[in-house]
Amino acid sequence: MTILDPIDENKINYEMDKNIDLNELHAEWLRQPGLCGNYNKLLAQAERERDKAKEQVPICKANVDEARARLELDIRKSPVVFGLGDMKVTESWISSTVIVFFKKNEDCVKTAEELVTAQNNLIEANYKVGVYGSGVKAMVDRKAALEKLVDLWSRNYFSVPTAPRPIPEEYQNVRAMEQDEIVEKQREGLQKKAEVVKKGSDEWPTRRRRG
């Protein structure tokens, strides 16, 4: 596929393209250039269709004017055929007759329908240009959002506290026993200190009397 090959707009999923997966920021960055390219190409295609549709409107208007002029010329040449009778031909009567027979004339009806179609095509083309223009802007906004999200990620905005891992049951008993041993040793140590203090206090009066 070359850069000039058209993109099938039916294969574009705007709702999916504008979304960002917070868990796959690296993948979203890899998608970003392609998305911007696709929507810019779609906008270019829509603008080309709009320009072509715009060219058809004045052409169709000219065809309508030409068919109207031929009808008016036929009326002027054969006013009796168009119901004039013995009345004098006037410009107001010709204008009125053109209006009446315009919808009955095959060429006039055909050119008028072509004009309506061309005008509707132009309206639709302008709508597409607006839609794809908003799509291009959305992709620009998406890029800005990705930049902010990456900045937040670098500041640990999305980090989640790590939950403590559960201790296997067989090790819980071992830890409980170790804790009991520590408490027992601390109790024995305190008891020995108390005995030393008590022994010293019992000997203190004897030392004073000897002195």
- Nearest partner of 80 among 93, 69, 70, 92, judged by Cα: 93
Reported confidence tier of residue 175, pLDDT bands at 50, 70, 90? low
- Nearest partner of 76 among 87, 91, 64, judged by Cα: 91
**Tens digit of each residue's pLDDT (9 = 90 or more) over 74-123:** 988 888 888 877 678 888 888 989 999 998 999 999 999 999 999 999 99
Helix (H, G, I), strand (E, B) or coil at 126: helix
Q: Is the predicted pLDDT of residue 136 greater than 70, yes or no? A: yes
Q: pTM for the whole thing? A: 0.66
Q: Which residues contact 83 (CB under 8 A, 6 or more apart)?
A: 97
Average pLDDT score, the chain: 85
